[in-house]
Amino acid sequence: MDTESTYSGYSHYSGRSRGSHRHGERSRDRHKSRSKDSRSEKSVTINTPPAEPLLGDSSVRGEQVQDDNWGETTTAVTGTSEHSLSQEDIVRITKDLEDSVGLDCRRYVTRTIAVILGLLVFLTPLAFLVLPHILWPEKLQSCGTACEGLYISVAFKLLILLLAVWALFFRPARAGLPRVFVFRVLLAVLVFLFVVSYWLFYSVRILDSQDDNYQGIVQYAVSLVDALLFIHYLAVVLLELRQLQPCFSVCVTRSSDGETRHYNLGQLSIQRAALAIIEHYYCDFPIHNPALLSASKSRAAKHLAGLKVYNVDGPGNNAAAGMAQSQSRAMIAAAARRRDTSHNELYYEEAEHERRVRKRRARLVVAVEEAFTHIKRMQEEEPKKAPGDVMDPREAAQAIFPSMARALQKYLRTTKQQHCHSMESIQQHLAFCITNNMTPKAFLESYLTPGPTLQYGKDHWLGRRWTLISEASVTNGLKDGSVFVLKCVDFSLVVTAKKIPYIQMSEEYIDPKSHKFVLRLQSETSV
């Protein structure tokens, strides 16, 4: 059978060589189309390279099988770079840098407008009090005791307003949102119109007529400060208090592994709800580990590799075509029977993996307990040593780390966490545990149980860029059934909002006398 297939393939070699030119043209056309598609992309996310992992980056080579005896058989790993930059990549990176510069400019413009508006608000009452003394000082009436008391009122109210504005508006920005915050813009426009209207009234009724009633001018300035305080109270209600009452229950699902969390949110716009969800994600969701998904992909690829349907004789030979079709049907039937038993393979693979994880975990626990026992013994012997022989926690961590390194390497590789922990981070965590007199269990908790993203190095979350995808405008408020997607480089978060239903409660009155009862005992007893 193999000989006949080889002979048939050799007899049609020339036909394939004649078609190679057409195949090359088609491949070049496909390459051009892919180049056009790549040039049509809108944005590119550039991630900073992660720190050097403890066991090599297996997330990039997730399909490769690694040897468990890496620490014994390998001393160094060298290689050349597999990444290159084309002209289109350079153009895309330049466009991304221009977009980032635009975001920075918008941020600075917003801050500049806020500072100018704040100076206008705080200098206006002072200008109302100073201008009459500069323009017509000889016509002003003397300021009595009540007028001088208003000076103190204006001063303290301006101080309170300054502190309140600083606490509410001049806070560090948590994120850069795609659109402006509607309520902040409305408040800024309201303050601007309010101050301009006061200036118009002041210029028409006081500056033009050169009013000599200075106490009335001071009261006019006091009324302006009072109104600004009320506007600040309105800002507190709209920006802070309005969103405190939960109105929606949102379901957040990670697309790669189906990890799901539920949160309660108030009256928020879509973009601000997305910001709150991302903040919850970094604290609640376990870290995204793409290496854990490689097992299912390799299993599916193995089953697909067992199915090969081909016709070496071409469509011209009917006999060979019929034989190939019969062979194809036989191979499809064999593949179907093999798929029927795939659940057994999955069961035994998972059982074997769990057995290996328990074995590696037991060895790691024993190694760490022995290392911490050695540390405790060294601490008991420290009073007997000279001052120059005492080690600090960093040196102690470096001294005991080799005794647990091999067991920790094998466990991290078995659980596919080696790209999450670098050798430097492990030693820093070990020194931190020694400094604070923690137990071996406290040290192992970071490696035995995957934690949230913020517990790992900054390279796992600092340079991450999120894209908000929504059919509705991102400045619109959440509604019942709203769906939007937060897209990242490796995965996306699918968010579905459901409105908390209106709860109708009724009261049922129970008469207190209904709980009373009488116990009757018979005086006669049987003999």
Distance between CA atoms of residues 523 and 418, nearest Å: 83
Q: Give the β-pairing of 467-470 and 483-487.
A: antiparallel
Tell whether the model's pLDDT for residue 7 goes beyond 60. no
Q: What percent of the chain has pLDDT over 70?
A: 67
- For residue 514, what pLDDT band results from cuts at 50, 70 and 90? confident
More confident residue, 330 or 520: 520
The answer to whether 502 and 509 have CB atoms below 8 angstroms apart is no
- Dihedral angle computed from the Cα positions of residues 171, 174, 178 and 181, in that order, rounded to the nearest 10 degrees: -40
The whole-number pLDDT of residue 526 equals 60
Tell whether the model's pLDDT for residue 159 goes beyond 80. yes
Distance between CA atoms of residues 445 and 468, nearest Å: 34
The whole-number pLDDT of residue 525 equals 58
The whole-number pLDDT of residue 385 equals 64
The whole-number pLDDT of residue 277 equals 94
More confident residue, 47 or 105: 105
The whole-number pLDDT of residue 511 equals 82
Least confident span in 43-57, 347-361, 370-384? 43-57
The whole-number pLDDT of residue 161 equals 94
Residue 365 backbone phi and psi in degrees, to 5: -60, -45
The answer to whether 184 and 475 have CB atoms below 8 angstroms apart is no
- Can you tell me the mean pLDDT for 190-199? 94
The whole-number pLDDT of residue 38 equals 40
Tell whether the model's pLDDT for residue 216 goes beyond 70. yes
The whole-number pLDDT of residue 69 equals 43
The whole-number pLDDT of residue 67 equals 42
The answer to whether 102 and 43 have CB atoms below 8 angstroms apart is no
Highest mean pLDDT among 194-203, 329-338, 442-451: 194-203
Nearest to 252 by CA among 466, 461, 457: 466
Distance of CA 116 to the CA centre of its chain: 34
The whole-number pLDDT of residue 95 equals 46
The whole-number pLDDT of residue 23 equals 45
pLDDT tens digits, 221-270: 999 999 999 999 999 999 999 999 999 999 999 998 889 999 999 999 99
Highest mean pLDDT among 96-105, 303-312, 320-329, 511-520: 511-520
Termini Cα distance of the chain:
105
- Can you tell me the mean pLDDT for 385-411? 82
SS3 of 493, please?
strand
Mean pLDDT (the chain) is 75
The whole-number pLDDT of residue 179 equals 86
Is residue 409 packed enough to be buried (19+ CB in 10 Å), middle (13-18) or exposed (0-12)?
Answer: buried
Tell whether the model's pLDDT for residue 37 goes beyond 90. no
Tell whether the model's pLDDT for residue 33 goes beyond 80. no
The answer to whether 447 and 421 have CB atoms below 8 angstroms apart is yes
Tell whether the model's pLDDT for residue 381 goes beyond 60. yes
The whole-number pLDDT of residue 264 equals 95
Domain ranges in the chain are 99-241
